[in-house]
Structure 1
Amino acid sequence: MIRIRGKVGDWPVDLTVELDAQDWAHLAANLPVKAEEISTPVTSEAPKTDALWQSTLSLVSKAGSIEGPQLMAQLTGLAGGELAAKQLLVRLRHCAQIRVESTADAPVYHWLGQ
């Protein structure tokens, strides 16, 4: 995963790009250093990330519906940190199995299933 932060003109930019093993290989092939010198965190983190994602989906599935702050607290403990929990929340927002309802107090994450 690569995080890019900065500005484009007056607009703030905070972008996270996920690369798979093939993308890392392509990037490594085009750098002026040897590919062996580049670590590929995607391949070493993939099993952990997949298990964490499945646990996240299971958590929402079991709850049926859960408010954002409560989900954030549970994901922070599950993922081991606030940044990882926020990334999971973003991923949930784009998941076809989840519907996010915006309410006056907090977003509510609803399990839609398959």
Structure 2
Amino acid sequence: MLRIRGRIGDWPVDLTLELDAEDWAQLAEHLPAAAAAVEPADARRSGAQGSDALWRTTLDLLREAGRVEGPQLLAQLAALAGGEAAGKRLLVRLRHCPQVRVETATDAPVYHWQGD
């Protein structure tokens, strides 16, 4: 599930998208081309307020999922942040977040939401 919150002009937007495994797979096929076309998040946001909003969105994403494997989470965060490097920075920040537990699995790390 992916939740998008924000504003369009004066109108509040709260959109929830429910995607199954096939939808995520189709979306992942298009990520490299889409990530290159999107300008970096830092250029679109201004100062700390923009990075705080991105961080809150990152936490909401993991909270709603409950549990996500590292490569899938990286793909989602890269698309959200506007590039793979920005997505990796968010993953590193998640590793140090007290609400998140990272489990080392056989193939990839698994990120778990621990609670508020």
TM-score bracket, shorter-length normalisation: 0.5 to 0.7
Residue number in structure 2 paired with 1:94: 96
Partner SS, residue 48 of structure 1: helix
How far did residue 48 of structure 1 move?
0.7
Residue 109 of structure 1 aligns to which amino acid in structure 2? Y
Equivalent residue for 1:9?
none
TM-score, reference length from structure 2: 0.60
Q: Provide the rounded CA distance (Å) in 1 between the counterparts of 2:60 and 2:107.
A: 24
> Could you say what the CA RMSD is over the residues aligned between the two structures, in angstroms?
0.7
Q: CA deviation at 1:45?
A: 1.8
| 1:108 and 2:110 correspond | yes
Q: Percent identity?
A: 65
Q: How does 1:34-49 map to 2 (within 5 A)?
A: 44-49=46-51
Compute the TM-score of the two structures, normalised by the length of structure 1.
Answer: 0.61
Alignment of 1:63-78 (within 5 A): 63-78=65-80
Q: Which residue of 2 aligns with 1:11?
A: none
- Residue type matched to 1:90 in 2? V
| Runs of 4+ off more than 3 Å | none
Q: Larger relative CO (CA 8 A, sep 6+): 1 or 2? A: 2
Unaligned segments of structure 1, at least 5 residues:
1-43
- From the CA coordinates, give the structure whose radius of gyration is larger: 1
